[in-house]
Amino acid sequence: MREKLSVAVLVASLALIAAAATSSGSKANSMQEQSVTAGSCDYSCLTGFIDQYMSALVAHDPSKLPVAANVKFTENTIPLKLGDALWGTISGMGTYKLYFADPRAGQAGLEATIRENGTPAILLVRLKVVNKKITEVETVVHRGADGAEHLEKFGHPNPVWTTPVTAAERTPRAELLKDANLYFDGIIHSSGEMVPFDPKCNRILDGDQDTNMSGDKGWWDNGSFRPSAMGISENMSTGIWKYIHSINPRRYLIVDEKMGIVFGVFMFNHPGTVKYADVKGVGKVPMPPVTQRPSSVEMAEFFKIDGGKIRQVEGVSIALPYGAHTGW
């Protein structure tokens, strides 16, 4: 019996050692892959790929790009051949441009205003680069002149986006991701208190600022109830976002440690069944008509995080059928 037990213990021990070795090997391989990617294309290299992509796009000529044989391209969630869709209709660049990059992941992104057959639009581009070849191109095009024109009225991105975080003050990568994820948890739970917002934080979605706005009338304005005039934390706690049933998937794609920016693409799902927001001290506030039908919204959203606080939020969205997939 003891001999059998000893053999069993020996086998189990060897299995554990083998598993540990495999796990360590996998982690080492993963780290090596990231290191290879980082070594082949640093921050300026990645943003250079973005510039190269935009030049080729405006020239309507994808052959100008160094792409992998199996490059994947989507526009507004639909897999397409590189050279289709916006490649044929873009007519020029606008005046707003914001970059972010992640050498560790080999990815870079850009939010920019463009012209499509002369009409202003907002474009979000994400590239993945491996061994100096573009392997993934994900684009979100928010069509309609208003959003792009409003974004251009700001003149340029808020300086917080373009101010690097000093090496001594940088938040660890895992903490950046955790803080960004709490934003979406706060929406689902109608709790701005659970999100680490900086008091100066504002949000701009599709070119429109929807926090700390005293002039423009918002969707939910009802008498003295003005959520668009509130700070982002108070706004989130009102309950007006309860029509959002889930935010899934949450695809975190770029962690720009240099600038303190987290970027991802997220699917907001609205079943259309929530008719009122029960606002404390106000009562029942009707949900706007756009929320009263099943739909999903893909949001390419990014966060400036400094000192463990979300300092600014910006995003570009497209409306989709309920339950739509991301294309990735």
191 and 267 fall within a common domain: yes
In the predicted structure, residue 32 carries a pLDDT above the cut 90: no
111 and 237 fall within a common domain: no
Q: Is residue 89 helix, strand or coil?
A: helix
Residue closest to 86 by CA, chosen among 40, 108, 53: 53
192 and 239 fall within a common domain: yes
A 10 A CB-CB count for 269 gives 17
Q: What is the pLDDT of residue 221?
A: 79
Distance, CA of 234 to chain centre: 22
Predicted confidence (pLDDT) per residue in 88-122, tens digit = 999 999 999 999 999 999 999 999 999 999 999 99
Name the pTM for this structure.
0.87
Q: Which CATH number do you get for residue 50? A: 3.10.450.50
Q: Is residue 34 assigned to a domain?
A: no
Report the C-alpha gap between 142 and 148 in whole angstroms: 8
Among residues 101, 127, 157, which one ends one of the domains?
Answer: 157
In the predicted structure, residue 217 carries a pLDDT above the cut 90: no
Q: Is residue 175 assigned to a domain?
A: yes
93, 114 in Cβ contact below 8 A?
yes
Q: What is the pLDDT of residue 222?
A: 74
220 and 164 fall within a common domain: yes
Q: What is the pLDDT of residue 34?
A: 43
Q: What is the pLDDT of residue 24?
A: 38
In the predicted structure, residue 59 carries a pLDDT above the cut 50: yes
Which of the four pLDDT bands, split at 50, 70 and 90, describes residue 27?
A: very low
Q: Is residue 2 assigned to a domain?
A: no
In the predicted structure, residue 8 carries a pLDDT above the cut 80: no
Report the C-alpha gap between 39 and 42 in whole angstroms: 7
Report the C-alpha gap between 86 and 57 in whole angstroms: 8
Q: Is residue 13 assigned to a domain?
A: no
Q: Is residue 136 helix, strand or coil?
A: strand
146, 166 in Cβ contact below 8 A?
no
Q: Which residue has the tokens 């060897």?
A: 14
173 and 276 fall within a common domain: yes
In the predicted structure, residue 22 carries a pLDDT above the cut 70: no
Average pLDDT, the chain: 89
The residues that bridge with 270 in the sheet, in sequence order, are 295
Q: Which domain holds residue 305?
A: 160-320
108 and 49 fall within a common domain: yes
Which of the four pLDDT bands, split at 50, 70 and 90, describes residue 208?
A: very high
Average pLDDT over residues 10-37: 39
Q: What is the pLDDT of residue 160?
A: 97
Among 142-156, 164-178, 204-218, 243-257, the range scoring the smallest mean pLDDT is 204-218
**Number of domains the chain contains:** 2
In the predicted structure, residue 125 carries a pLDDT above the cut 50: yes
Q: What is the pLDDT of residue 17?
A: 37
184 and 247 fall within a common domain: yes
Among residues 157, 183, 214, which one ends one of the domains?
Answer: 157
In the predicted structure, residue 153 carries a pLDDT above the cut 60: yes
